[in-house]
Structure 1
Amino acid sequence: MITPPLGGTRALLQSLAPSLVPSERRVAEVCIEDPEFAAAASVAALARRAEVSPATVVRACQKLGFDGLPRLRDCLRRDLGAAAVRRTVGLDATPEVPGGAAGAPAEHPVAHVFTRAMAGIQGALGALDLDAFDAAAGAIRESKRLLIIGNGASLPSAQSVSLHFLSSGKVCECPVDIVTQHIAAKLLGPGDVCLAVSDSGMNAFTLRSARLATENGATVIAITSYAKSELAQIADYALVAGADFHFWNDSTVTGNIVQVLLLSALHAAAIAHTPGAERAQAATFDEVRSMIADTSDGASDGTSDGTEAIRRGGT
């Protein structure tokens, strides 16, 4: 039996729902789309709403990690109560649109995207296994070689965290070319780590690299939104977060937010207490500052003021 963190029940359900058979998935979808109803429903009522049998409701709850509907209801009620308290004290107030745009702020695209992102982040860690996270950070810290793989929409996140590792003195590689990814993965061995980033956990190219790394004895860490995805099954450590963001028929682009935050946390944990990390970060900053200073020499458009700010330690 599992107990998702406060506010994380819907995210947990969404991370597991794709792995269920269609009839069981309908039960999960009712709980995701109408948690108020599910939190008060009997097995029979939930079965009628999902158009399945009562036995399917019980089976779905068990596959979602609960020993039955009562336990799932308890978690939904807990989250709904916490959300009500947040609204009461004003923690979930809709942000104002910058510049005081006319009309209702909630209808402005900026307010819509930011409000949705804030709401999603609150429950995004519902499926994350903190023990797996700590073990993954330790594996990266002790690794002889670190290969970071990402393709499609997950590539920018992979590239970003690779830059952070390099800036902290942790040598790593994050090839963009698919063939190079596969060759690099095949050259890994025991003591090496392959950090595979795939939102869906089903990208064929990323899966190929992860399998090659596993076959050669490397440790595979998965960053994905779905707990039962193929990548999560391959990985030694599956770090699952962010499924609450994903509605593929929606025009807003918010899915990578949790992915980037989780990778940032993994980077911070992996380099914590690592000798030389602070020195490497300082050297990186000095190099970037020097590059900016070189490009602004002789400039008359005001960029030298920005360079001077960086020299004083600003950004």
Structure 2
Amino acid sequence: MSAQQTTSPATPDSPTDLRERIRTARPSLSPAERQVADWVLRQPGTVLSLPVAAIAREAGVSQPTVIRFCRSMGCHGLSDFKLRLAQGNVARDTAPARIASPSGMRVLQNAIDSLTTLQDRFDPGTLDAAVALVDNAHRIDLYGFGSSGVVALDTQTKFFRYGIPANAYSDPYLVSMSLNVLQAGDVVIAISKSGALPELQTAVERVRELGVRVIAVTAPGSPLAALADVVLPAGVDDTVADRSMVARILHLALLDALVLEVALRKGSALHHADQPE
């Protein structure tokens, strides 16, 4: 008898079971997230094999809603959610780093989630306005300090690839010197994750005094965004641990779109495409 008692199965749907947690949290979720919860509870096996777009379609919600639902359940993103659903173990005090997952998956999933959110919220009219400014500019300067300087240099290279002159500056002293040659009709593209760097704000304020137009690639609602003529929004959720890395990916994606659209408008994209690298 005692042997049978020691081998009895564990109680199903224990507090660490993700499905139980979904059931418990369901009343407090938004209506859209509740739709995702209901679909997951009906299809706990199917969700493991579907991408975010398919899950959103099946649940009748947007892709960012699926990601928000996953985070409401204490997961970093969809991949983390699937892993925990499969394991049936998402105790609140379990550190995500302790869960066995492929190396680098958190960074990749955070980037995918942020790009999906950007795509869902992006206003094509904003990109069109930025393209118009760059297309008509006499001179194109790119300002970015720290890791944003790497993005500025990458964008300069992309412009060069399509035969469009541009200048990237990542040193505050060189930025101040560039102000001596800027004039009305030129464009400055200012790049910053936070949009709150004092040196960059000061430079952009002086740029505006010269009558130069400004495109900011930064967090919406930031001080830098307030100074710009056009803002290409690259906000990153505060809950993302690797915000700098994700922000850089968003900046590169937005600027790649800007460069390509300007090149297409100038008719130079086809002539310079597919260059060996």
- Alignment partner of 2:142 out of 136, 145, 148: 148
1:257–1:111 Cα change, 3 Å: same
Counterpart of 2:254 in structure 1 is: 262
Q: Name 2:217's counterpart in structure 1.
A: 223
Match of 1:232 among 225, 230, 241: 225
1:38-117 equivalent positions in 2, closer than 5 A: 39-40=30-31, 76-77=32-33, 80=36, 87=47, 90-92=50-52, 94=79, 107-117=101-111
User: Counterpart of 1:220 in 2: which secondary structure?
Assistant: strand
Structure 2 counterpart of 1:45: none
Match of 2:122 among 121, 124, 128: 128
172, 182, 199: which is aligned to 1:178? 172
SS at match of 2:215: strand
1:192 aligns with 2:183: no
Residue 124 of structure 1: SS of its match in structure 2?
helix
Q: Partner amino acid for 2:195?
A: G
Deviations 1:109-139 (A, max 9, x none): 3222222322222112455332121110111
Q: List runs of 5+ in structure 2 lacking aligned partners.
A: 1-24, 53-77, 81-97
Counterpart amino acid of residue 275 in structure 1: G
CA apart distance, 1:236: 0.3
| TM-score, normalised relative to structure 2 | 0.63
**Which of these two proteins has the greater Rg computed from alpha carbons?**
2
CA RMSD of aligned residues (A): 3.5
- RCO higher in 1 or 2 (8 Å CA, sep ≥ 6)? 1
- 1:204–1:79: structure 2 CA closer, same or farther, 3 Å change rule? farther
Equivalent residue in structure 2 for 1:275, among 263, 267, 275: 267
1:214 aligns with 2:213: no
Q: 2:28 aligns with which of 37, 45, 48?
A: 37
Does structure 2 conserve the Cα–Cα contact (< 8 Å) formed by 1:186 and 1:212? no
CA gap 1:106/1:128 in 2 versus in 1, 3 angstroms: farther
- Residue pair 1:224, 1:241 contacting (<8 A) in 2 also: yes
Runs of 4+ displaced beyond 6 Å: 83-86
The residue matched to 2:104 in structure 1 has which SS?
Answer: helix
Give deviations 1:217-249, integer Å, cap 9, x for gaps. Answer: 111000012x211111000001112423x4475
Name the SS for the 1:217 alignment partner.
coil
Structure 1 CA distance for aligned equivalents of residues 158 and 207 of structure 2:
22
For 2:118 and 2:35, locate their aligned partners in 1 and report how far apart those are by CA, in whole Å: 13
Instruction: Show structure 1 runs of 5+ residues with no match.
Output: 1-33, 41-75, 96-103, 286-309
The 10-residue stretch of structure 1 (108-117 or 204-213) with the greater mean CA deviation from structure 2? 108-117
For residues 35 and 218 of structure 2, the distance between their equivalents in structure 1, rounded to whole angstroms, comes to 23
**Any conservation in 1 of the 2:26–2:34 contact (CA below 8 Å)?**
no
Deviation at 1:206, TM superposition (A): 1.7
SS in 2 for 1:273: helix
* Superposed CA offset, 1:155-174 (max 9, x none): 11111011100111111101
% identical aligned pairs:
23
Equivalent residue pairs, number: 207
